Structure 1
Amino acid sequence: MFVRQLSDLGITEITVTSAGLIDYHAGRPMDPRSARLLEERGISTEHIARQVTGDDLTADLLVVMDSSHLSALTERGVDRDRVRTLRSFDPEAAGQLDIPDPYYGTPDDFAEMFRLIERATPGLVRWVTNGGLR
């Protein structure tokens, strides 16, 4: 969703990747429940899961889904200033910075996850386009 919004603005010089902290799903396509929601929005579902590498940890910004991910990355030595929860970009988050993992949940849990992502992503785009990566 973030890549799509950047592309819609003509921003192509930013590299965006996605990776998990553990290798449980590495090498597999995305969860079909997530894929369905992306397809409904006309967004590519070509992603193959992979685990975070050392190169990923050198990125200018690492955006995570919840505070446990944030802690895991800072424990691996990533500077706290380079790690943000996605919801930290949502002006309506009211201090609720975690996006719950819907994996063991219902289709409604996946829909809620996407609602939260869709609400936060414009704020991330604004932050990047206003020089947040400098």
Structure 2
Amino acid sequence: MKLLVVCLGNICRSPMGEGALRARIAQERLDWISVDSAGTSGWHAGEPPDRRAVACARRHGVDISSLRGRQLRREDFFDFDYILCADHDNLAEARALAPEHARERAVLWLPWAGIAGATVVPDPYYGGQEDFEQSWALVDAAARATVQRLLRRDDSGIIPT
């Protein structure tokens, strides 16, 4: 199973989401799930995550400092099972880029994961620490729910105990 977390610039929400997912996947020892992140824009390609995102993730025990931004590519729809989008704009951009047969792979991450009461991860870029904490809380909840969803899938490769 391959998951791609997508936001606008790939320096705040999606690297935090990638980090949260990697942490939850490692915690459950689910080595059959791989994760990456990308942005719908190429503004920050090759750059590390925003220093505030790095600090926020670090406060929660996750190191995302080695991640580097990249832009979402059409090929990603052939390489990944799900494109987990942070908000409606990211979803629209991703689906516009997708080959027609693969558009359904792009989903709003929070509803897809089963997070009640929230549909988008707000962009903390123009905010302060509290905005990054709010985004972290949502991506971490989505990461936990994503792992649980994949563990429940009949075709997940996990044999029930």
Secondary structure at the counterpart of residue 18 of structure 1: strand
Confirm or deny: 8 A CA contact 2:74 2:98 kept in the other structure.
no
1:92 is aligned to 116
* Structure 1 unmatched ranges of 5 or more: none
Equivalences for 1:1-134 in 2 at 5 Å?
Answer: 1-45=20-64, 46-58=66-78, 59-78=80-99, 79-88=102-111, 89-93=113-117, 96-131=118-153
Is the contact between residue 91 and residue 107 of structure 2 (CA under 8 Å) also seen in structure 1? yes
Distance in 1 between residues matched to 2:154 and 2:84, nearest whole Å: 13
Higher relative contact order, chain-length normalized (CA < 8 Å, sep 6+): 2
Which has a greater percent of strand?
2
Secondary structure of 2:84 counterpart: strand
Gaps of 5+ in 2: 1-19, 157-161
In the superposition, the TM-score normalised over structure 1's length comes to 0.88
Structure-1 separation of matches of 2:31 and 2:123: 29
Conserved? CA contact 1:62–1:82, under 8 Å = yes
Normalised by the length of structure 2, the TM-score is 0.74
Aligned sequence identity (%):
23
Count how many residue pairs are aligned between Structure 1 and Structure 2. Answer: 132
Q: Is residue 26–residue 49 contact of structure 1 (8 Å, CA) maintained in 2?
A: yes
CA RMSD of aligned residues (A): 1.8
Aligned amino acid, residue 41 of structure 1: H
Contact 1:19 1:51 in 2 (8 A): yes
Q: Is the 8 A contact 1:90 1:121 kept in 2?
A: no
Moved over 3 A (4+): none
